[in-house]
Structure 1
């Protein structure tokens, strides 16, 4: 985004704020006119014209889709690594128990179906412990230090190696991550991967079979059960949703 784009965006935001302020004052006066009390002013000036909510984008689609896969397959044990608690994990916890591994801390107040363990998954040595594992929009952060982890250029590969090792034979691994036309590192926020890069990681290439590929495109729309080779070359920042089954 260039300077002109930034300027246009700032002008649009300022216009929205001024219009919101005008409406806020009018409605405040109407409230008082009707005899209403106001304990304190807490202006919200930018939501008058908002839609009811967001039904697009990476997290909305991936969280619902993968939660539905787990519901359909009903695994004996499901482990999640680093996915969004108030999205995907909450969806799954509404109908079954889910174990969550994360390098970050979590307050004790949690749902009875969420079993949380703080750990660095790249250092997990246990093998074949679960028939179902997910890691949604998390692997791109491994090794960048953003969440308190150690700097490691190949941290994402080590994380994937651990996930593959933890998975039982015939079990399913659900991975999602930002995808684009080439591999990029946006330090220290995240990585973006070419859609085929993950397939070439040795532990995946040797042990897993891609059984399904879905993706969210640049417009935030979900493309279901797609041929991974059909993605447009100019994809900028989509979300690849990979379903793998362990064959070895």
Structure 2
């Protein structure tokens, strides 16, 4: 039924796990639920309780927090929690795209934080394996597979695929098992790239291996072999310590355990 101006549409009732007091319990349980964070949460809990009671005294009757609405957040004092791979990779790729200013940029499966921010500067079309419930000006989503991209061969002058191809064929995101998944994805990216266009690819580099079902890690020689039709223009990246450098020597990160290589190719 299509609602008219006189139709009152009732909001959908919240699911049981979205209601209070279940949400209140979840806010307390989540900081302790992960083993890596449990000890930190236990260590910081006494401080949290002291500061909560002190804040209540300071607030008086102005926005005084209640026990029902407490939402403890632990482990964020003193330093930022940074994923060096994604922070540097997304910034690096955005700068390369904006330097060229294509009429439209095509991205395949990268972080939505990258493509949504990039779309504020130029039109972006994103190919996603799963539906994306976003509605933003400047960005369009196309459901499709990286193994069969919905574009003609040699038709795209500006393409990115960041921290994606290492997952293909490992079923991590519901895709079919395929030991050749990364190689097939690379071939599709190269196929759709236009002559003179640029392809930005980011993926884990270092000691070559398969970490099933999280990702594959390649050394630099293997990555170049994935794109035999393309020419490498730039190789930058982040090492195991989170240090970012532009224009690294090609094999510099091959001895790492889990580094990230940023490859800029042209055809």
TM-score, with length taken from structure 1: 0.85
For residue 211 of structure 1, report the CA deviation from its aligned partner.
Answer: 0.6
Q: Could you tell me how far apart the structure 1 residues matched to 2:36 and 2:131 are? A: 40
For residue 143 of structure 1, report the CA deviation from its aligned partner.
Answer: 1.0
Residue 173 of structure 1 aligns to a residue whose secondary structure is strand
Unaligned runs of 5+ in 1: 1-9
1:114 aligns with 2:136: no
Taking a change above 3 Å as real, the CA distance of residues 19 and 138 of structure 1, as seen in their structure-2 partners, is same
For residue 156 of structure 1, report the CA deviation from its aligned partner.
Answer: 1.0
| Contact 1:20 1:48 survives alignment (8 Å) | no
1:176 aligns with 2:198: no
For residue 28 of structure 1, report the CA deviation from its aligned partner.
Answer: 1.9
1:44 aligns with 2:69: no
| Counterpart mapping for 1:1-248 below 5 A | 14=39, 16-34=40-58, 35-36=60-61, 37-39=64-66, 40-47=68-75, 49-51=77-79, 53-54=80-81, 57-86=84-113, 88-107=114-133, 109-124=134-149, 126-181=152-207, 183-201=208-226, 204-205=227-228, 207-229=229-251, 231=252, 233-246=254-267
Q: Could you tell me how far apart the structure 1 residues matched to 2:36 and 2:244 are? A: 32
Taking a change above 3 Å as real, the CA distance of residues 12 and 163 of structure 1, as seen in their structure-2 partners, is closer
Q: Could you tell me how far apart the structure 1 residues matched to 2:231 and 2:200 are? A: 12
Higher RCO (C-alpha under 8 Å, 6+ residues apart): 1
The number of residue pairs the alignment matches comes to 228
TM-score, with length taken from structure 2: 0.79
Larger Rg: 2
Taking a change above 3 Å as real, the CA distance of residues 42 and 176 of structure 1, as seen in their structure-2 partners, is same
Residue 196 of structure 1 aligns to a residue whose secondary structure is helix
Q: Could you tell me how far apart the structure 1 residues matched to 2:83 and 2:57 are? A: 41
| Contact 1:82 1:138 survives alignment (8 Å) | yes
Q: Considering only aligned residues, what root-mean-square deviation do their CA atoms show, in Å?
A: 2.0
Q: Could you tell me how far apart the structure 2 residues matched to 1:12 and 1:188 are? A: 23
Residue 233 of structure 2 aligns to a residue whose secondary structure is strand
